[in-house]
Amino acid sequence: MKEIIVAIDFSKGSLHALDYAIAFANHVKANIMMVWVDSHTNPDFAFNAEVNEDREDAKKNMEEIVKARKGMLKHGKLSYKLRKGKVYQEIANQAKYNDADLIIAGTHGVTGYEEFWIGSNAYRIVSYAPCPVVTVRYDFDMREEGIKSIVLPIDSTLDTRQKVPFAVQMAKDFGADIHILALYSTNIKAVQRKVDNYARQAQKFISDEGINFYMESVQADNITNASINYALKVNADLIAIMTEQETTASNILLGPFAQQMVNHSPVPVLSIQPKEIYSISTR
């Protein structure tokens, strides 16, 4: 992993996400680029002094952040970029331009008041990102030794196994264990057998890569709650999910499971898009 993008709006949540990203980057020896997006538009004026002042303030704030935190990043470079447009699109565009390996964005969850744009745009950033995204709550602190426990929910969807290789690589980078969680959302035996088969395939791949793992299965009326509760039970540092995205003729939307996880999880969520969604969203 060489390049991490961090979405910054100068809220406490986004600055906390930056500190999380620095701790993360120190383990994988990556650079960090902070991205602030000027999302103000005024169609009546070609030049808007107030917006220009916002941009100058943003530049000053970014330079202060770099000065204060560059010594905290041990193996890489801390830089920033100011962009203009829709927040989630510009974060995605910068990630494409940098060929970023990961985006990290802060979130307050749906119950937290957020006057800045990070909280309301977190799931949109996940939707449009050309690479995996970690969303982290303002009140979660990475332990000093880094990520040591990753929860890997496995369901009956065909895409559920696509997250396994990235989760394994992250486990290698941090020396983490993986907890495979087989989720039964129905009593239909054929579907449960499919989940078991996918979980065994994930187990074999993880075992062959030399990663320590655990496996458990649960009957889940709500797979979001089941995944979060299990993550809290095992003191997990990360939950890895597929985005379960829905495509329409005009947009790409997060499915309900992914959106609920991003909005509600007190544990950081690693969201990975299915490969076919990557190809659609980057055309």
Q: What single string gives the DSSP state of each residue in 74-133?
A: SSS-EEEEEEES-HHHHHHHHHHHHT-SEEEEEE--TTS--SSSHHHHHHHHHHH-SS-E
Q: Determine, yes or no, domain membership for 232.
A: yes
* CATH number of the structural domain spanning residue 70: 3.40.50.620
256 has pLDDT over 50: yes
| Same-domain status, 42 and 89 | yes
Model confidence pTM above 0.75: yes
| Same-domain status, 68 and 22 | yes
Q: What is the span of the domain harbouring residue 244?
A: 149-281
Half-sphere exposure at residue 162, Cβ-oriented, CA atoms within 13 angstroms: 18
| Same-domain status, 174 and 277 | yes
* Structural domain ending residue among the three candidates 137, 159, 193: 137
* β pairing state of 31-38 and 3-7: parallel
* Domain count along the chain: 2
| Same-domain status, 78 and 124 | yes
For residue 51, give Cα distances in angstroms to 7, 34, 56.
Answer: 19, 20, 9
| Same-domain status, 82 and 154 | no
- pLDDT category at 2 given cuts 50, 70, 90 is very high
179 has pLDDT over 90: yes
With tokens 């709650």, the residue in question is 225
| Same-domain status, 220 and 249 | yes
What confidence score (pLDDT) does residue 124 get? 86
Q: Determine, yes or no, domain membership for 142.
A: no
More confident residue, 220 or 94: 94
What does the block give as tokens for 49?
């002094």
| Same-domain status, 131 and 158 | no
Q: Determine, yes or no, domain membership for 144.
A: no
Q: Determine, yes or no, domain membership for 200.
A: yes
| Same-domain status, 248 and 154 | yes
Q: Determine, yes or no, domain membership for 263.
A: yes
| Same-domain status, 156 and 275 | yes
| Same-domain status, 207 and 124 | no
